[in-house]
Amino acid sequence: MAEEGAIIGRVKLEQRHGKERVRVGRVWKDSDGTHHFVEWNVGIRLLSDCLPAYFTGDNSNIVATDTMKNTVYVKAKECSERIPVEIFAIKLAKHFTTFYQPVTTAIVNIVEKQWERVSVDGLLHKHGFQFGSEEHTTEVVVKKCGALQVTSGIGKLRLLKTTQSGFEGFIRDKYTILPETQERLLGTEVTASWRYAFKSLQNIPVQPLYFFDSHMGVKKVLVDTFFGPPKMGVYSPSVQYTLFEMAKAVLQRFCDLSSVDLKMPNIHFLPVNLSSKDNPVIVKFEDDVYLPTDEPHGAIEASLSRIHSKM
């Protein structure tokens, strides 16, 4: 059994090492001239018995972080077919736990940037892509025994609705100035992550589009639940309530997920009222003119997990 930590006198050492921000772009070319492109930003952490490196300067059990970086490019080259980011992360993590005897666990995080195929004159371009702000994230943990944990996610998903939102009934005291309202603009930048229920390398779903479809599906449920039906929308009494509705909808719709984690900052758009001594009403706020802000913002986060296998 490898040792990743040790107690020395009255202190405990826990250690891991890896490489951060290894950036790779990969193109796949179909025979009809259609190209596919992904950009990945990879982080790797290896748990292994390299305590002698800390205690005596003996590096003989260390996988150099430079080697980890090279491995990202080698494995990207080896992927001759277009693959989802989750499968690439699993391949990398599996490599580290099987190729290196001292490595007991590999943790691979990847952020995929959004390069979307462009349309020109109404036709999808064969090799032209446009950058979007959204991110597709994954974290994969693989143990030597084959145990696996896969988390997927979405980052920087900015959503905003101009009505059907309010906030009332909260604690009022001598520090409170926020008025109660049934009419406000609601803006957020969703960071979502969800854990798949399968727990070993043998149980990874075999359908080639599984992770692509899950990602698109979860995103659609999150967005649809946030906004409600196109004509009427749906009333949000708080970010907290809407967040819970979104998380519940994801677990109800996708039974192969065991938990979902949502961070939904309340990004404030401040009402604009302008007045002067001579002109008391230059701009009177009527739910129309706002000052967009980045900070400070509300921080509202929650996780929802299944206690039983079915909801």
Hey, which residues are catalytic here?
19, 65, 268
Does residue 97 interact with ligand URC by CB under 6 A? Answer: no
Q: State yes or no: 285 annotated in a binding site.
A: no
Q: State yes or no: 266 annotated in a binding site.
A: yes
Does residue 166 interact with ligand URC by CB under 6 A? Answer: no
- Of residues 74 through 93, those in contact with ligand URC by CB under 6 A are none
Q: How far is the CB of 104 from ligand URC (least distance, A)?
A: 42
Q: State yes or no: 99 annotated in a binding site.
A: no
A 10 A CB-CB count for 30 gives 10
A 10 A CB-CB count for 29 gives 12
The CA distances from residue 28 to 12, 130, 167, 204, in Å, are: 47, 17, 49, 23
Q: Which member of 178, 206, 232, 281 binds ligand URC (CB under 6 A)?
A: 178
- Of residues 206 through 265, those in contact with ligand URC by CB under 6 A are 238-240
Q: How far is the CB of 268 from ligand URC (least distance, A)?
A: 8
Q: State yes or no: 70 annotated in a binding site.
A: no
Does residue 43 interact with ligand URC by CB under 6 A? Answer: no
Q: How far is the CB of 264 from ligand URC (least distance, A)?
A: 9
Does residue 266 interact with ligand URC by CB under 6 A? Answer: yes
Contact 120, 148 (CB under 8 A): no
Query: Residue 23's beta-bridge partner residues?
Result: 41
Does residue 65 interact with ligand URC by CB under 6 A? Answer: no
With b for 16 or more beta-carbon neighbours within 10 A and e for fewer, the 213-249 pattern comes to: ebbeebbebbeebbbbeeeeeeebebbbebbebbbeb
Does residue 167 interact with ligand URC by CB under 6 A? Answer: yes
Tokens 């949502």: give the residue. 262
A 10 A CB-CB count for 58 gives 12
Mapping DSSP to helix (H, G, I), strand (E, B) and coil, where does residue 10 land? coil
Would you put residue 7 in left (φ > 0), alpha (ψ -120 to 50) or beta?
A: beta
Does residue 163 interact with ligand URC by CB under 6 A? Answer: no
Q: State yes or no: 167 annotated in a binding site.
A: yes
Does residue 298 interact with ligand URC by CB under 6 A? Answer: yes
Q: How far is the CB of 168 from ligand URC (least distance, A)?
A: 10
Chain positions contacting ligand URC, by CB under 6 A:
167, 178, 238-240, 266, 298
